[in-house]
Chains A and B, each alone.
Chain A
Amino acid sequence: MTTRKQRRRLSAKIGVIVGLCLGAVFAGFPVVWMLSTSLKPNGEVFQVPPRLITENFSFDAYWKILTDPTQLRFFLNSYIVALWVTALTLLVGILAGYSFSRYEFRLKRFINVAIVSVQAVPPITLVIPFFGLVVALGLYNTYGGLIVTHMVFTLPYAIIMTTAYFNTLPRELDESVKVDGGSGWTALWRILVPISVPGLIAVGIYTFMISWNEYLFALTLTRTDDMRTVPIGIQLLMGQHSYEWNQMMAMSILGSIPVLILFLLFQRRFIGGLTSGAVKN
């Protein structure tokens, strides 16, 4: 016999499912369309009325990309750069976040303001001076140049977030380590970081995304096909006269699959849940 509470719970559950489904349509429909476009020959992309699957459905576009060594190289480059950027940004971000969260020092507010506001300079105006600097440093057309450039863009975000996450952890945690004879360094790596893992993974994923999808500086700071990344590869398909719609979409989708896998792998850690983590949820 259903009680009022059970009925309310059921209606809440239905409400949530309906909400989730509506949201899923909102989030997923363009991606479905992307998939559909990647399977159409170029001539049918503008067909009216629009169809999800057309008669000349084919996987040609995917085949073309997977058998082209230049395109594959783009993928490899994007991964190398994005992975390094994520690792290094997290490292530097954790250190900086710890500093902001646990210490008071003279220039703190100034540096904080600086870090937040340097993101506000329009990248377009920065391109040329930045470019000159990278060339002068000998980092033109190298992985190092891209990695360091992307780090500069992702660090402010990483620092702000790590500071925020560390700020939610009480100082008693630090003290407990210090009481046992540990240093600030130990407190950071033994207590703060493990507890903040969900937040850090969120930061890591986002950093990866930014680096993966970055176009302007990747284009400017690379010269040869063996250094270029996926967004450039996609734009190369947008020709002077027309776009290679199906290949563009196929490349997008192919590029997103491994990132999706990464997300799937990490999401359990990051959602935490009731079985892991040092804090009872």
Chain B
Amino acid sequence: MIEGSTRVQSRAKRLLGVVTAAMLAVAAVGCGTGSGEGSTGSSEQGGGPVTLEFAQWWAPELPEGAFQELMTQFESQNPNIKVKLLSAPYASTKQQLVSGAASKTLPDVVGLDGAWVNDFAKQGAITDLSALMAEGKYDESQLASQIKVDGKTYMIPVVNFVYPLFVNKDLSSKAGVKTVPNNRSEFLDAAKKISALGGNVKGWALPLDTAVPNGIQNDVMSWLWASGGSMLTPDGKPNLTSPPVKSTVEYVKSLNDADVIAPGSLTMKEQDKVEKFTAGQVGMMIDSLAHINLIKKNSPNLDFTVAPIPAEDSYTGKRGLPYASWGIGIADSSEHKAEAFKLVEFLMSQQANAQLSTLANGFPGNNTAEPDFSKSDPLFKTAFDIYKKGYPANEFVGLPKSEELMRTFDENLQLVLTGKQSVDDALNKTQQSWASVI
């Protein structure tokens, strides 16, 4: 009885020995070069150089090594400060920031989205930048905008990405659409004609994924803002039952009823919308300017242009243009706030800001900086003109729990689009829900 088990045993022992040896070897390599430190922030060696940790999702979106180069520029101008770039997957950034704030392990400088500011400020995660600006006697007039909560600035937008209308010129001309639509009726008409091309082509894409409900901001409310409308009252309370909002929702519903929206809308993500446009399955979309290079790279032969978002037929005023920003803030738990602010100043300085905006294909947060359009696509110049003629509009920035607000609106809109709820009911329900938050 023992004989058999010994043979098994010795084979098992040998295998175990091999595996253990392998693991020890691998671990030796790892421990030798890995960081075993439990560092939770920047380090300082009594008077020596300060290392700032900067968490952002921007570096992968820029040309290889470009962002690091900017940091090197900063380091050469500030010999006492080193910058360590940390990156995290974009989709998890907010969640990681919340967790990091809760355990006081936030990096010194953090990249932020405007929609998160209110909640992070309330959490005490990010510090009051107004105070730092006052201390450093910073000239605030050069900032195109600041995101404030209770009168204090918590985030400064570094680069702004506007969301104009993208039009596929190949599909439009094939469908007999002569000019780029300028108002809602023209848009509906163009969308119908493009959808009539058949196959898998539709006129418009509407991403209503509830996991990341940005579609409400970029693809629905943008219609409202393009006609100068507002979803809030002048004192910041929800105003969703007002005629402009109602007409916006009814318009979207009419687009849905006309069957011009690409299928899969209820769970479509922003990335899908772009992919479908790039693949020539969607004729028109409202999308971030930052995608121009992406579309050109993936589909070099696609002939498309950008235009202002169509307004209500009778509207002739200035048009609001939705935007998203790469914003910057400083962690409240940072031990090097002064140095961190130097980094912020650098990124907002005229030269660096212009450089970054050009690289990112966005518009500068410093209103004296002019992005260099000479080497980039002529469409950027077109978009910049649209930007200058209109005004940046994103009422969700600075609101508390903006993601939840968008999601409630989204869920009710989905009920409208699937015929399960009337527009009035949807707006009333959403209004009630919003009123309990704002």
Chain A residues within CB distance 8 Å of chain B: 41-43, 45-48, 76-77, 79-80, 83-84, 87, 127-128, 131-132, 135, 138-144, 176, 190-191, 193-195, 197, 219-220, 223-227, 232, 235-243, 269, 276-278
Is there contact, CB below 8 Å, between A42 and B102? no
- Distance, CA A132 to CA B98, complexed state (A): 12
Indicate which residue in A76, A176, A224 contacts B1 across the interface (CB closer than 8 Å).
A176
A135-B40 contact, Cβ under 8 Å, with A191-B5, A236-B60 = yes
Distance in angstroms from B297 CB to nearest chain A CB is 7
Query: Once bound together, how far apart are the Cα atoms of A138 and B40, in whole Å?
Result: 9
Give the residue among A128, A139, A226 with the most B Cβ atoms within 10 A: A128
Whether B86 sits at the interface, judged by CB under 8 Å, is yes
Q: Classify chain B: how many residues form its interface, as a range.
A: 35 or more
B26 pairs with A79, CB closer than 8 A:
yes
**Which of chain B's residues 361-387 have a Cβ closer than 8 Å to chain A?**
none
Q: Is B38 an interface residue (CB 8 A)?
A: yes
Is B131 positioned at the interface, with any CB of A under 8 Å from its CB?
no
* Contact of A241 with B105 at beta-carbon distance under 8 Å, contacts A226-B35, A276-B11 already known: no
**Quick check: B27 and A80 within 8 Å, CB to CB?**
yes
Give A41 to B294 CA distance when docked, in angstroms: 12
Contact, CB under 8 Å: A238 / B91: yes
Taking A46-B278, A128-B98 as given, write out 4 further A-B residue pairs in contact, using a Cβ cutoff of 8 Å, ordered by the A residue number: A87-B19, A135-B105, A140-B38, A194-B9
Cα(A253)–Cα(B12), bound, Å: 30
Which of these, A197, A223, A226, A236, contacts B34 with CB under 8 Å? A226
Q: Which of B15, B37, B103 contacts A132 (CB 8 A)?
A: B103
Q: 10 nearest interchain CB pairs?
A: A43-B298, A235-B89, A46-B279, A240-B90, A138-B38, A278-B4, A80-B30, A194-B8, A132-B103, A46-B275
* List of B residues within 8 angstroms of A142 by Cβ: 34-38
Choice from B20, B35, B288 contacting A241 with Cβ under 8 Å: B288
- Which residues of chain B from 294 to 322 have any CB-CB distance to chain A below 8 Å in the complex? 294, 297-299
Contact between A242 and B35, CB atoms less than 8 A apart: no
**Cα A76 to Cα B91 with chains together (Å):** 24
Given A235-B91, A242-B291, CB of A48 within 8 Å of CB of B5: no
B31 within 8 A of A: yes
Would you call B276 an interface residue if the criterion is a C-beta within 8 Å of the partner chain's C-beta atoms?
yes
Evaluate contact between B275 and A242: CB separation under 8 angstroms: yes
Tell me the number of A-to-B contacts counted with CB atoms below 8 Å. 148
Are B271's CB and A242's CB within 8 A? yes
Within 8 A of A (CB), among B87-116: 87-92, 96, 98-99, 102-105, 107
Q: A48-B281, A141-B38 are in contact. Are A278 and B8 (CB under 8 A)?
A: yes
Chain B's nearest CB lies how many Å from the CB of A205?
A: 13
Please provide the chain B residues from 19 to 65 with a CB less than 8 Å away from any CB of chain A in the complex.
19-20, 22-23, 26-27, 29-31, 33-40, 57, 60-61
Complex contact B12–A194 (CB within 8 A): yes
Q: A48 is contacted by which of B20, B36, B279, B299 (Cβ under 8 Å)?
A: B279
Residue of A nearest to B60 (CB): A239
In the complex, chain A residues whose CB is within 8 Å of the CB of B36: 142-144
A190 cross-chain contacts in B, Cβ below 8 A: 5, 9
Would A241 and B294 be within 8 Å (CB), given that A195-B5, A277-B8 are in contact?
Answer: yes
Residue of A144, A197, A232, A277 touching B89 (CB-CB under 8 A): A232
Query: Within 8 Å of chain A (Cβ to Cβ): is B436?
Result: no
Assess the A128–B99 pair: CB atoms within 8 A.
yes
In the bound complex, what is the Cα–Cα distance between A144 and B102 (angstroms)?
22
Inter-chain contacts of A235 with B (CB < 8 A): 89, 91-92
- Is A220 in contact with B274, judged by CB distance below 8 angstroms? no
Q: Which residue of A lies closest to B10 (CB)?
A: A194
- The answer on a CB contact under 8 Å between A141 and B12 is no
CA of A140 to CA of B107 in the docked complex: distance in angstroms?
14
Q: Would you give the shortest CB distance from B280 to chain A, in whole angstroms?
A: 9
Indicate whether A223 sits within 8 Å of B86 (C-beta atoms), given known contacts A43-B297, A128-B99, A194-B12: yes
Contact partner of B31 (CB less than 8 A), chosen from A48, A79, A143, is A143
> What is the minimal beta-carbon distance from A164 to any residue of chain B, in angstroms?
20
